[in-house]
Structure 1
Amino acid sequence: EVAALVIDNGSGMCKAGFAGDDAPRAVFPSIVGRPRHHGIMIGMGQKD
């Protein structure tokens, strides 16, 4: 028996699983990247 793999690449979450299952087997954020500006808020939250 061969099961079809279903991938839903949504705008916020990516879901993957097999056709016929009740729920996806894997759910993870579809946002991948890094911050545009590095080091702007260095030292915030630290007390003297």
Structure 2
Amino acid sequence: ALVADSLADYLERHPEMRGTGEISMFLTTGDPQRVTDQATRFLRRKTEFHAA
């Protein structure tokens, strides 16, 4: 609950970070293709990662 409460507090102070929920961008410091492949298998839907 601590992380959720902290995130809620942060988003209250930074409403510009909330986004619309229509588009998500995922970043990784690892290999974007490898992370994309693993996330897609895990989530069972295309989830594309980009280099951070």
- What band does the TM-score fall into relative to the shorter chain? under 0.3
Give the strand-richer structure, 1 or 2: 1
Bigger RCO of structures 1 and 2 (CA < 8 A, at least 6 apart): 2
Give the helix-richer structure, 1 or 2: 2
